[in-house]
Homo-oligomer: A and B are copies of this chain.
Amino acid sequence: MTDLLGEKGANLAEMMKIGIPVPFGFTVSTEACTRFYENGGKLDPAVHAEICAKVAELENVMGKRLGDSENPLLVAVRGGAPKAMNGTLKTILNLGLNRDTVGALERMTGDRRFALRNMLDFLSSYSSIVLGIDEDRFLALNQEKRREAGAQDGDRLSLEDLQALEVSYRRLIVEETGSPFPEDPLEQLEEGMIAILKEWMAPDVIAYRKMHQIPDEPGIAVTVQAMVYGNAGSSSGTGIVLTRDPSSGQKRLYGEFLIDAKGSEMQKGIRSPLDLSIMQAAFPEAYERLKHICEILERQYRDLQYAEFTVQQGKLYILQTRRGRRTAQAAVKTAVDLVKEELIDRKTAVLRIDPVFIENLLAPRFDPEQEEEAVTIAQGIEASPGCACGRLVFSPEQALQLHQIGEPVILVQKETDADDLSGIYASSGIVTQRGGITSHASGAARAMGKACVTSVGDDIEIADDLNSMRAGEQTYYRGEYISINGFKGCVYEGQIRMIPPDLSGDFGKIMGWADEFRTMKVRTNANTPEEAQQGADFGAEGIGLCRSEHMFYQGSRLRQIQKMLLTQDPEEKQEAMEEIKRIQRSDFFDIFTIMEGLPVSVRLLDLPLQDFLPESDADLEDFAKEEGLSLFGVRQKADALRETNPMLGQRGCRLCIMHPELTVMQTEAIISAAIEAEEKMGRQVDLEIIIPLVISVHELNRVKDLVKKTADRIMKDAGHTIEYRIGTMLEVPRACMRADALAGSVDTFSFGTNDLTQMMYGLSRNDTAGLISEYMDQGIFPDDPFKTIDRDGVGKVMERAITLGRKVKPNLRLGVCGAQTGDQRSVEFFHELGMNYVSCSPFRVPVARLAAAQAAIRLGNGKEE
Contacts and interface: CB of A to CB of B under 8 A. Distances in A.
A515 interface: no
A651 to B, nearest CB: 9
A762 B644 contact: no
A123 to B, nearest CB: 42
A763 B648 contact: yes
A654 B771 contact: yes
A659 B781 CA distance: 18
Contact of A732 (B643, B699, B761): B761
A761 B780 contact: no
A251 interface: no
B759 A796 contact: no
Given A647-B762, A648-B762, 4 more contacts: A644-B646, A644-B767, A702-B778, A732-B762
Contacts of A693: 762
B649 A764 contact: yes
Interface stretch (A98-106, A476-484, A597-605, A787-795): A787-795
Interface stretch (A375-383, A495-503, A733-741): A733-741
8 contacts: A643-B766, A657-B775, A657-B780, A696-B780, A698-B781, A699-B775, A734-B760, A741-B792
A797 interface: yes
Nearest to A764: B648
Contact of A792 (B654, B737, B781): B737
A699 B768 CA distance: 15
A615 to B, nearest CB: 12
Interface string A456-469: 00000000000000
A268 to B, nearest CB: 37
A645 interface: yes
A657 B774 CA distance: 9
A824 interface: no
Nearest to A653: B780
A796 to B, nearest CB: 4
A648 B648 contact: yes
Interface in A654-699: 654, 657-658, 693, 695-696, 698-699
Given A648-B762, A733-B733, A768-B650, A738 B779 contact: no
A758 interface: yes
A794 B779 CA distance: 29
A649 B766 CA distance: 9
A704 to B, nearest CB: 13
A262 to B, nearest CB: 43
A755 interface: yes
Contact of A733 (B649, B650, B760): B760
Nearest to A650: B771
A150 to B, nearest CB: 50
Interface of A: 643-650, 654, 657-658, 693, 695-696, 698-699, 702, 731-734, 737-738, 741, 755, 758-764, 766-768, 771, 774-775, 778-781, 790, 792-794, 796-797
A734 B645 contact: no
Contacts of A734: 760-762, 790, 793-794
B781 A696 contact: yes
A732 B755 contact: no
> Taking the full assembly, how many copies of this chain does it contain?
2
Given A645-B645, A762-B759, A766-B645, A737 B797 contact: yes
Contacts of A648: 645, 647-648, 758, 762-764, 767-768
A643 B737 contact: no
A707 to B, nearest CB: 16
Given A780-B696, A780-B699, A793-B734, A644 B760 contact: no
A733 to B, nearest CB: 4
Nearest to A740: B792
A650 B767 CA distance: 8
A428 to B, nearest CB: 27
Q: Which 8 A-B pairs have the closest CB atoms?
A: A648-B764, A734-B793, A643-B767, A645-B764, A649-B767, A732-B762, A698-B780, A733-B733
A644 B737 contact: no
Contacts of A758: 648
A58 B687 CA distance: 65
A737 B761 CA distance: 11
Given A733-B760, A755-B762, A768 B657 contact: no
Contacts of A761: 695, 732, 734
B762 A797 contact: no
Contacts of A766: 643-645
Given A645-B646, A763-B695, A737 B774 contact: no
A698 B761 CA distance: 14
Contacts of A649: 764, 767-768
A658 B767 contact: no
A838 to B, nearest CB: 22
Nearest to A696: B780
A699 B775 CA distance: 8
A687 to B, nearest CB: 26
Contact of A738 (B695, B762, B763, B792): B792
Contacts of A790: 734
Nearest to A608: B767
Nearest to A804: B796
Contacts of A733: 733, 759-760, 762, 793, 797
A434 to B, nearest CB: 9
A340 B699 CA distance: 51
A596 B658 CA distance: 51
A455 to B, nearest CB: 14
Taking each of A645, A766, A768, A778, which has the highest tally of chain B beta carbons within 10 Å of its own beta carbon? A645
A578 B774 CA distance: 27
Contact of A762 (B695, B737, B741, B793): B695
A824 to B, nearest CB: 22
Contacts of A646: 644-645, 767
A644 B696 contact: no
A699 B781 CA distance: 9
Contacts of A738: 792-793
A820 to B, nearest CB: 15
Contact of A643 (B657, B702, B764, B779): B764
Given A693-B762, A760-B732, A771 B658 contact: yes
A778 B700 CA distance: 13
A185 to B, nearest CB: 46
A348 to B, nearest CB: 36
A771 B702 CA distance: 15
B737 A796 contact: yes
A761 B694 CA distance: 9
Contact of A764 (B644, B695, B696, B732): B644
A766 B648 CA distance: 9
A793 B738 CA distance: 6
Contacts of A779: 698
